[in-house]
Structure 1
Amino acid sequence: MTTNAKTAALEALIDAHAIELKLPTVRRRFRALAAEATREQQTPVAYLGALLEAEINERTERRERRRLNDARFPQIKRLDDFRFQDNPNVPQATIAALAEGSWIDDRESVILIGDSGTGKTHLATALAVCACQAGRRVRFTTLAGLANELQEAEGRRELARVVARYARSELVVLDELGYLALPDGAAELVFQVLSERHERGSLIVTTNLPFGEWTKVFADPRLAKAVVDRLTHRAHIIDTGSESWRFHHGLTQTKRRRGQPA
């Protein structure tokens, strides 16, 4: 058998073993990395190490992509893209500490409270993305979306299953509390999820309403008080202020287009 034939047979064997062992990156890259190792005169151990590292790195990336998809973010936003200079109300050191995720281990929560355009959803999403990158199960939803999902589940007699699914997530992001009042019956269903997660799992909540005005969302004052009590217990409360950086950014862009000083 010629050298080329032996090489082809060995490559076919490696290919088959990689399929059997479920090593797709090894299967796809072993030839290219072998050629690179030959050019750089690497040892067999160095080549094997590079090949296995490539497999591990791609598995990590695939798991992260899967967690990000499972979280159902409307958009991926990261802390690196948040312009802290546009909103000095946001404590950068506090956000950086929260990004490390120990508060999730402690089953604490984060409440971002402030007017529209102050970066609440960006920060909530970015912290949740950090959690995904750390290997945590995350779920993102708006309050209205959660209410609709729970009501539909109740209609299908699947409410317990949906509530349990939210309970299993290590972190749930509840966005836009305060923009819409909950429809009849939905407030109690949302309260079930919040009660199930209380001291068992972490939440990030964004709201444009002071706590004293949550009766605009949860019409029953006693229920509103119970929700506030549960959410604020063991919570990091961050006030993002009232100055909309989106408004200022849009105004600056308009001035630039008109040739006016920003």
Structure 2
Amino acid sequence: MSTTITTADVVEAGKGSSLTQAVLTDWAAKGTPKQREYLYGLLMDEHASRRHARQVRLLKAARLPAVKTFTGYDWSHITFPDDYSRDQLMNLEFLNTAGDLVFYGDVGTGKTHLGCALVAEACQQGIPARFFTTAGLVAQLRRAQEAERLDKELASLAKNRLLAIDEFGYLPIDTEGARLLFQVIAEAYEQRSLVITTNLEFARWGTVFGDDNMAAAVIDRIVHHGRLLHFRGESYRVKNALMK
């Protein structure tokens, strides 16, 4: 390590630690170059350790079915909007504006994989995120409601900057389940980002909610700050199936 570590370097490395800036400045200024180098290394290692612990904690809390990454991902199935690029997606720019994403298209073309990868990337960046299947989210909300802790459950969900809702439209939802799901989506509007994967075009979302007006209200919120990515092609699982 360089022996030209300054007091300012030590103070910067100590940000986020339990030490105050005044104490860091005082002791770094008193120290010799070697002592400042030692202190700097200690603080940087502590920062890295805390960052790693947070990443592990967030990944566990995200409840991913499998941790996925962008490495080796096949982007050929996806059609992006003209004003939106792969790099913008991978950099999680949409989180900065509480933007939403809808992954729409054929089964087995990588929608769930990409949703998982986005949640995992958010966790790696220290951003709280959760992954649900639609059926799993509705069931969790229903249990919370029955236990009279729905408000606490919604508050817990609200701590996440990204919620991925997978397999929207794959299973029917009853009236109460639709209302609970609507509440999550409505409360996320302009507050946090949603990634929704589905094989249903917007015109059929009313069949999921059992109410065209509720579906229209959901779509209205999502499209305002959202983008639609089209997934087309042969199912990866069918293409690589052992059963021919």
TM range (shorter): 0.7 to 0.9
Contact 2:51 2:126 in 1 (8 A): no
Partner of 1:34: none
- Report the counterpart of residue 69 of structure 2 in structure 1: 78
Structure 2 distance, partners of 1:117, 1:46, is 52
Change (3 A) 1:151 1:209: same
- The aligned counterpart of 2:128 is 137
Asked if 1:102 corresponds to 2:132, the answer is: no
1:229 partnered with 2:220: yes
Give the number of the structure whose residues are more often helix, by fraction: 1
Question: Which residue identity lines up with residue 89 of structure 1 in the other structure?
Answer: I
Greater shift in the superposed pair: 225-234 or 62-71: 225-234
Matched residue count? 213
Q: Give, in angstroms, the shift of residue 183 of structure 1.
A: 2.3
Q: State yes or no: 1:89 paired with 2:89.
A: no
Q: Partner amino acid for 2:234?
A: E
SS of residue paired to 1:236: strand
Instruction: Supply the AA of the counterpart residue of 1:220.
Output: D
Q: Give 1:44 shift.
A: 5.5
Q: Which runs of 4+ in 1 moved over 4 A?
A: 43-48, 90-93
Percent identity among equivalent residues?
A: 36
Larger CA Rg, structure 1 vs 2? 1
* Alpha-carbon separation, structure 2, partners of 1:166 and 1:71: 11
Per the alignment, residue 27 of structure 2 pairs with: none
Aligned-residue offset at 1:102: 2.3
After TM superposition, the structure 1 = structure 2 runs for residues 197-208 of structure 1, keeping only pairs within 5 Å, are 197-208=188-199
> Unpaired runs of 5+ in structure 2?
1-16, 19-33
* 2:42 is the alignment partner of 1:54: no
Distance 2:141 2:78 in 1: 35
Would the aligned equivalents of 2:80 and 2:228 in 1 still touch at CA under 8 Å?
Answer: no
- Matches of 1:51 and 1:157, distance apart in 2: 47
Runs (5+) with no aligned partner, structure 1 = 1-20, 23-42, 256-262
Number of the residue aligned with 1:194 = 185
Distance (whole Å) between structure 1 residues aligned to residue 151 and residue 179 of structure 2: 14
Change (3 A) 1:246 1:148: same
In 1, the alpha carbon distance for the partners of 2:113 and 2:143 equals 28
Match for 1:68 among 59, 63, 82? Answer: 59
Q: Deviations over 1:156-179 (max 9, x none)?
A: 111111122222211111111011
- The answer for the alignment partner of 2:147 in structure 1 is 156
> CA-atom RMSD, angstroms?
2.5
